[in-house]
Structure 1
Amino acid sequence: MDATTLCSIGELSRRTGLPVRTIRFYSDSGLVAPTTRSPAGYRLYGLDAQLRLELLRTLRELGLDLATIQRVLDRELTVAEVASAHADAVDARIRVLQLRRSVLRAVAASGSGPEGIKLVHKLTQLSGEERRRLIDDFMDGTFGITGSAGAPEGDRAAEAAMVRAATPELPDDPSGEQVAAWVELAELVGDEEFRARMRRTATRQATGGGLDIESEAGEGLMDLVRQKVAEAMESGIDPLGDRAVPVVDDLVHRFAEVFERAPDSEFRHWMAHRFEEAHDPRVDRYWRLVWIVNGWQVVPDLTPVYPWLIQALRGGRGA
């Protein structure tokens, strides 16, 4: 090799923009060894050393450690292999940072104290697998494998499958609302009283309790219920007062027509009972939280209209 193709460490520093001490460190580490030395013992570098140094700098800027870079330079690993592995690592880091950002926003919005912050952090730090295990434990604890008295095993399994099909999955970049919903959901599924409520709901349906009254009545009629009762509540109408009578009478007659029943007092009590069965605030809350966590469109909340309507049906003075 001609001496004119070689350059000193100072010239190499000017060509690459790297400090002399950095090049010397890489050289002493064996990452970019000098091509030869001058008669006076000074390091001389060829084009291959310059190319290795430029690749080394690029890989370092991408966050690779020196051990991995050594393997690339020695051709034990290809740049493509290393890039793929580190891209995955960067993706994972981004997900962690996105989740941390969402947690901080949720904490800021809620004004949580120290214990609340610890709980939010603990529950959101769970891996995807750990979060699924939390829900699986809820499924097993709620529905079990052998079923319960009065609930056929097959029907109970079908009910569990329906709930499992809507498993909450916290996204990689959740909103503050989704983080808050996940934390509330995680607390809810660990509560034994709530599990008992879910079991009762499943048992009622598995033993022939039928669908909830809103499903049987149909979307159109339930939209009307929501509208009429919401208007009555906004107007400050007492469900036990005279002003509630025409509102409730109209709804009772509409339901009686759908269910092919006489709109008498017996039917009113039947309606009240069915709405009470359909209305379990904590079960309703569970499904609403699932919808929020999964980023699905949240259905209009019927819960506020139920207590007013049930009270009017049971204690009103309608026909």
Structure 2
Amino acid sequence: MFSSHDGLCTIGELAEHAGVSVETVRFYSDRGLLPEASRSTGGHRRYAPDAAERLSLIRSLRGLDLPLPDVRRILDEQDAGGAPDVLEAAVTDRLNVLGTELAALRWREAALRLVHECPPTERPDILRLVGSLTTPPSTASLARFWRAWLPPRMPARSVTAFLERAIPHPPDDPRPGQVLAFARLHAFVTQPCGKSNPCQPRAHSAAGAREASALYTGLAHAYDLASAEIRKGAQPCSGEALDGFIDAYASTYGTHDTPAFRRMLVGQLAADPRIDRYWDLTAEVINAPDSHPEPTPGSAHDWLLKALNADLRATLATRCSDGQTY
């Protein structure tokens, strides 16, 4: 390759050795990635022996789809004899980008399968639903819904903790049914408040900033305990989960956990706005068809409400057997 008297080669010789076109070598040279050693008297480019290895590295980096600015930084770091930190950072960034791109492709594939497999009469509605989603889908609309639902002036830390529990993470490799469930969830949270999409529970009106934080911190703990019971297949019952659930509301109202308070609370919770549709769709998004359903805050709340009703019935039965009025 380097047969000239000065040990340099022409652009054509370098291109032939590397198995690329002259235009490719010129492209990298013009962008400063492949420096020339000199120019001939006729103005032709001449390259040093290390140009072949440098060109091979450039092609390898570009073959990994690393952008030219990243390739330049990697070469500059190599020229300076530094550690390969820039290369590691560039590869990590590219992996993250590819992960997002692959997730987007999987969501598009699942959406196409959904449209392909659904009955023709349902396609217009399904196209409208899935057409409103980005790929991969964003959870921003769900976050906006909950920020409007939660009590005003609730501490940011408490809001963030609740959002982490309440917002389902879109699966990276969804089934068509999960795409449809997430699209319906997006449609649910973006519709105006009304009968099918109520606004706020009355408990929020009694909660200031401090009380709201205590309410949702206590509810989160109670939901965790109830979720553990649900995973074990336990029926709704009295216990630590229910006690924590009641205490969270009692603290909000500045009172104590008494039978009278429990009677008042069960009536209020039964009358408060519910978003069962949100939790049903959330369960469809996060659960595989053949797996044991993973509890959501909604299913945990329902379990606790049933436990509260069962506890009140048991208390009533005990009082009646003792001849007490209730």
Q: In structure 2, what is the equivalent of residue 186 of structure 1?
A: 186
Counterpart CA distance in 1 for 2:13 and 2:135 is 50
Q: How many percent identity over aligned positions?
A: 31
C-alpha distance in 1, partners of 2:144/2:176? Answer: 21
2:95 equivalent in structure 1: 87
Per the alignment, in what secondary structure is the counterpart of residue 173 of structure 1?
A: coil
For 2:178 and 2:106, the matched residues in 1 are separated by 13
For residues 96 and 83 of structure 1, the distance between their equivalents in structure 2, rounded to whole angstroms, comes to 20
The residue aligned with 1:33 is 35
Between the aligned partners of 2:57 and 2:117, the Cα distance in structure 1 is 46
SS across alignment from 2:187: helix
Distance (whole Å) between structure 1 residues aligned to residue 164 and residue 25 of structure 2: 58
Shift of 1:56: 1.4
TM-score in terms of structure 1 length:
0.53
What amino acid does structure 1 have at the position aligned with 2:30? D
Could you tell me which runs of 5 or more consecutive residues in structure 2 were left unpaired when the two chains were aligned: 154-160, 205-214, 216-229, 237-269, 295-326
CA shift at 1:64, angstroms? 2.5
Which string of whole-angstrom CA distances, capped at 9 and with x for unpartnered residues, describes residues 145-170 of structure 1? 59xxxxxxxxxxxxxx9998453332
Change (3 A) 1:28 1:284: closer
Shift in Å, 1:20? 1.5
2:283 counterpart letter in structure 1: W
Please state how far the C-alpha of 1:96 moved relative to its aligned partner: 1.8
Q: Write the distance in 2 (CA, Å) between the matches of 1:169 and 1:61.
A: 32
Distance 2:19 2:164 in 1: 58
* 2:67 counterpart residue number: 65
Secondary structure of the corresponding residue to residue 5 of structure 1: coil
Is 1:102–1:174's contact at 8 Å kept on the other side of the alignment? yes
Q: Answer with 126-135 or 29-38: which moved more.
A: 126-135
Question: Given the superposition, is the C-alpha separation of residues 287 and 40 from structure 1 closer, same or farther in structure 2, using an over 3 Å criterion?
Answer: closer
SS in 1 for 2:170: coil
CA distance in 2, matches of 1:84, 1:40: 44
1:290 to 2:298 alignment = no
**Counterparts in 2 of 1:136 and 1:286: CA distance versus 1, 3 Å:** closer
Flag the structure with higher helix content. Answer: 1
Which residue of 2 is the match for residue 105 of structure 1? 113
Query: How many matched pairs?
Result: 218
Taking only aligned residues, the RMSD between alpha carbons, in angstroms, comes to 4.4
**How many Å apart are 1:293 and its aligned residue?**
0.7
Question: Offset of 1:24 from its aligned partner?
Answer: 2.1
| Unmatched runs of 5 consecutive residues or more in structure 1 | 147-160, 207-214, 221-276, 300-319
- Change in CA separation of 1:3 and 1:33 when aligned onto 2, cut-off 3 Å: farther
- Alignment-derived partner of residue 17 in structure 2: 15
Structure number with larger C-alpha Rg: 1
Instruction: Kindly state the Cα deviation for residue 3 of structure 1 after the two structures are TM-superposed.
Output: 3.6
